[in-house]
Every structure is written in structure tokens, then in C-alpha cells.
């Protein structure tokens, strides 16, 4: 396992990082042109890049202690480098010259926990390339390129939320995002609150789950209703004429969009928690992306005093849960819930509040004072 200092041996490098995201409301709405409210995680993924002298690209993950070499031909079958290579190739398709590089990845962001480690990797890669090559690309453009990389090179037909959150969100505000217009603005968290995020210990890989199936079902439901996307359904009763599973999928999306818009009106912590609880029930019963472990974990969270609401976060089929908690109580409650949850044989862990050392967020250039 090599640090970036070991990997580059003092050569000139550029460093950039990007956070994961916790989605508080608006799950599975992004690819339906809908609304969502993610927030950035304190955990981040960092990418350090420097020149390659042998004409090849070299990728190294400190977390995995894995090296991948790529000379511009066939992509690796699987693995972290596909996301990075996708970003490089999409820049090349924009007639941007990307010279052969060495890239080092470091991260304290949990993989497979539903916090969008892939988007963090894509954005950290693109930010580092933007800095190194002085590219005139906006944060929104980077998010769009990252989304395209995930779709084309990782095979996940994802929406734009994860990449927009990794590019534009911060740790103290919710990011309202309109997936159709890409309008964003920061929304204050409810007063006197903080978040608990717990990994259920059940990993999930989006490309190997029902994610793409759910997206196809939503597209079919929209066609049945005669709209461009389910975001355009104004009357929730309209979806009730559909047959299942299309009725249930559409009902979740329409009601989830309404929950986001309600939350943006400035509700208090209890009202926000009620919206979170309703979101989880909808994800469980109508969208059918929850599993027993996530249901058990959210139920445990809701039983705690000073918890306002809890839901799965991310695409489901495993991953993490998020709870809204009274400020100052998250560490104690989170640790207690994890201990109780794990007594049933699970392998849960508390992700937020974070106990590990934060990753650097600043850009670094070893030889010429930073960018």
C-alpha cells in the first residue's frame, strides 16, 4: 500500500478531492427529471495526478492496493479505473488533449454503502484534470461528464444527482436539485439538527441490482401516462389507473417529488422527519428497493429519543440509512443503534458522525506552490 508521496516520489503532482453524498429526500427521482435534497459527506475521495513517462496511463488505489495500467485500448473488465478512464476518454472526445498520466486514489469514503463513492471518484478525477490542464469547465459540466462516464463505462444508467452533489454540495446545507433544469440552490438544515448515517453492512452494486429495471419501469409508466417524465404528473391520483408494478413505481416518484418540495418550504425537524419516514415506507412498499436489514435499521433508529425520522439513503438493495437527530446526540445514539443492530448478526458501522481522519480537501502541487 503506497501513499501518494511514495507513489510519486517527489515529482510534480496535482491533488483534488470530492465528497460522497447522503440523500435526505428525493430517492430515484433524478432519472425521472425530478427533485432531490442531497448533502455532502465529510468523507471524501482524493486523486493525485502526475506525468507518466512511458506513454501509458497508470492508476493506483491506495485503499485497494491495486494497480491498473492502460495504454488506450481495451478497458479493464471491472474495477475502479473504469470510472477514471471514462472521464479521460470523455475529455478526449471533447478534443481535449490528455497526456499519459499516473493517478493515485485515496479515500475514506465507504464503498458499496450507498454514499456514491463512484461519483466522488469521478469528480475528484475530473477536478484534478481540470486543474492540471487548466480546463474552462464549470462544476455543472464536470458533473455531466461524470454522469456520462458512469453510464457509458460502468454500465449504470444513473441520473445526475450523485455527480451534482459531489460537485456542488457542502456539508452544512442541503442541495436542492432540479434534475431537468439542473437548477440548484442551498437549503438550510432544520434547526438544532445533525445527521446519523449507518452502513447496514449489506453491500450493493447498482449495475448488478434492479436499478436499471426500475428506471425502465418508470420510463414505461411515463409513456402510459402520456408525459415526458414522471416529474410531469401533476395529479397523484393519475397513476392509480396503471397496472402494477408501474402504478407503484410512479406513485413513489410523484409523492417523493412532493416530499422534496414540501421540505424546501422550511419545515421544522419533526415535519422533516415525518417526510423521511414516509419516504422510506414508499421506497419499501412502492419502489421495492429496501431489504430487511434496512427496514430493521431504520426501525431501530426511529425508536430512539431525539430521532426525528429515518430512511434508507441511496438506491437501496443494501447500503446505508440516514436519520435526522437532535444536535449533540448523534454520536451516542448512532453507536448505541449500531451495537443493538449488530447483536442480530449484522456488520453495521457508524459512518456519520465520522470517527476517521478527514481527507485533505485542498489542491496541491509539489513543486510550484499549488493551483
166 and 121, same structural domain?
yes
What range does the domain containing 23 cover?
4-187+356-361
Q: How many CB atoms are located within 10 Å of the residue 270 CB?
A: 12
62: left (phi over 0), alpha (psi -120 to 50) or beta: alpha
Which 3-state string (H, E, C) describes 176-229? EEECCCCCEEEEECCCCEEEEEEECCCCCCHHHCCHHHHHHHHHHHHHHHCCCC
Does 236 fall in a domain? yes
229 and 176, same structural domain?
no
72 and 155, same structural domain?
yes
Ranges of the chain whose pLDDT falls below 70: 205-209, 356-358, 360-371
Q: What one-character DSSP code corresponds to residue 360? A: P
Does 368 fall in a domain? no
pLDDT at residue 365, as a whole number? 36
User: What are the phi and psi torsion angles at 69 (to 5°)?
Assistant: -110, 140
d(CA 23, CA 114): 9
Output the nine-digit C-alpha cell for 362.
485542498
Does 248 fall in a domain? yes
pLDDT at residue 360, as a whole number? 66
> What is the H or E stretch that residue 330 is in?
helix 330-342
pLDDT at residue 112, as a whole number? 72
CA 226 vs CA 67, 222, 230: distances in Å: 49, 6, 10
104 and 129, same structural domain?
yes
Does 251 fall in a domain? yes
Strands 320-326 and 193-199: antiparallel
Q: Helix 117-133 vs helix 81-93: angle between axes, to the nearest 10 degrees?
A: 40
225 and 131, same structural domain?
no
Count the residues in the chain: 371
The CATH number linked to 162 is 3.30.230.10
162 and 114, same structural domain?
yes
User: 117 near 144, Cβ under 8 Å?
Assistant: no
| Helix/strand/coil percentages in the chain, nearest 5 | 40, 25, 35
pLDDT at residue 159, as a whole number? 84
169 and 27, same structural domain?
yes
Tell me how many domains the chain contains: 2
Q: Is 50 helix (H, G, I), strand (E, B) or coil?
A: strand
290 and 161, same structural domain?
no
pLDDT at residue 114, as a whole number? 75
Does 106 fall in a domain? yes
Does 366 fall in a domain? no
pLDDT at residue 208, as a whole number? 57
220 and 150, same structural domain?
no
The CATH number linked to 194 is 3.30.70.890
359: left (phi over 0), alpha (psi -120 to 50) or beta: beta
Give the residue among 119, 229, 113, 235 at the shortest CA–CA distance from 178.
229
Q: Is 162 a catalytic residue?
A: yes
50 and 70, same structural domain?
yes
Catalytic residue among 6, 30, 54, 162: 162
195 and 119, same structural domain?
no
Does 369 fall in a domain? no
210 and 179, same structural domain?
no
pLDDT at residue 368, as a whole number? 28
Amino acid at each position: 500500500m503506497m501513499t501518494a508521496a511514495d507513489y510519486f516520489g517527489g515529482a510534480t503532482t496535482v491533488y483534488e478531492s470530492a465528497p460522497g453524498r447522503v440523500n435526505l429526500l428525493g430517492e430515484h427521482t433524478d432519472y425521472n427529471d425530478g427533485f432531490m435534497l442531497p448533502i455532502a459527506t465529510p468523507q471524501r475521495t482524493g486523486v493525485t495526478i502526475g506525468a507518466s513517462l512511458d506513454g501509458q496511463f497508470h492508476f493506483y488505489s491506495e485503499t485497494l492496493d491495486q494497480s491498473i495500467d492502460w495504454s488506450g485500448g481495451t478497458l479493464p473488465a471491472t474495477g475502479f479505473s473504469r470510472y477514471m478512464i471514462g472521464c479521460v476518454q470523455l475529455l478526449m472526445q471533447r478534443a481535449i488533449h490528455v497526456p499519459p498520466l499516473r493517478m493515485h486514489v485515496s479515500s475514506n469514503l465507504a464503498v458499496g454503502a450507498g454514499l456514491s463513492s463512484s461519483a466522488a471518484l469521478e469528480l475528484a478525477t475530473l477536478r484534478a484534470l481540470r486543474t492540471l490542464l487548466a480546463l474552462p469547465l464549470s462544476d455543472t459540466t464536470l458533473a455531466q461528464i461524470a454522469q456520462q462516464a458512469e453510464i457509458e463505462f460502468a454500465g449504470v444508467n444513473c441520473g445526475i444527482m450523485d455527480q451534482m452533489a459531489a460537485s456542488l454540495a457542502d456539508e452544512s446545507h442541503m442541495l436542492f436539485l432540479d434534475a431537468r433544469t439542473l437548477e440548484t440552490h442551498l437549503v438550510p438544515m432544520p434547526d438544532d439538527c445533525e445527521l446519523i448515517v449507518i452502513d447496514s453492512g449489506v453491500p450493493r452494486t447498482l449495475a448488478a441490482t434492479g436499478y436499471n429495471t426500475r428506471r425502465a419501469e418508470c420510463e414505461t409508466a411515463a409513456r402510459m401516462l402520456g408525459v415526458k417524465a414522471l416529474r410531469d404528473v401533476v395529479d397523484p391520483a393519475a397513476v392509480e389507473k396503471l397496472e402494477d408494478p408501474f402504478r407503484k413505481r410512479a406513485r413513489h416518484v410523484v409523492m417523493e417529488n412532493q416530499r422534496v418540495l414540501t421540505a424546501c418550504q422550511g419545515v421544522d425537524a419533526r415535519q422533516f422527519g415525518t417526510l423521511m419516514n414516509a419516504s422510506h415506507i414508499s421506497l419499501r412498499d412502492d419502489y421495492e428497493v429496501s431489504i430487511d436489514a434496512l427496514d430493521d435499521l431504520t426501525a431501530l433508529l426511529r425508536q430512539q429519543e431525539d430521532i426525528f425520522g429515518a430512511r434508507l439513503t441511496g438506491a437501496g438493495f443494501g447500503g446505508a440509512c440516514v436519520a435526522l437527530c437532535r444536535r449533540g446526540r448523534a454520536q451516542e445514539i448512532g453507536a448505541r443503534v449500531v451495537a443493538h443492530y449488530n447483536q442480530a448478526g449484522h456488520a453495521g458501522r457508524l459512518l456519520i458522525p465520522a470517527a476517521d481522519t478527514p481527507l485533505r480537501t485542498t489542491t496541491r502541487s509539489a513543486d510550484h506552490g499549488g493551483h
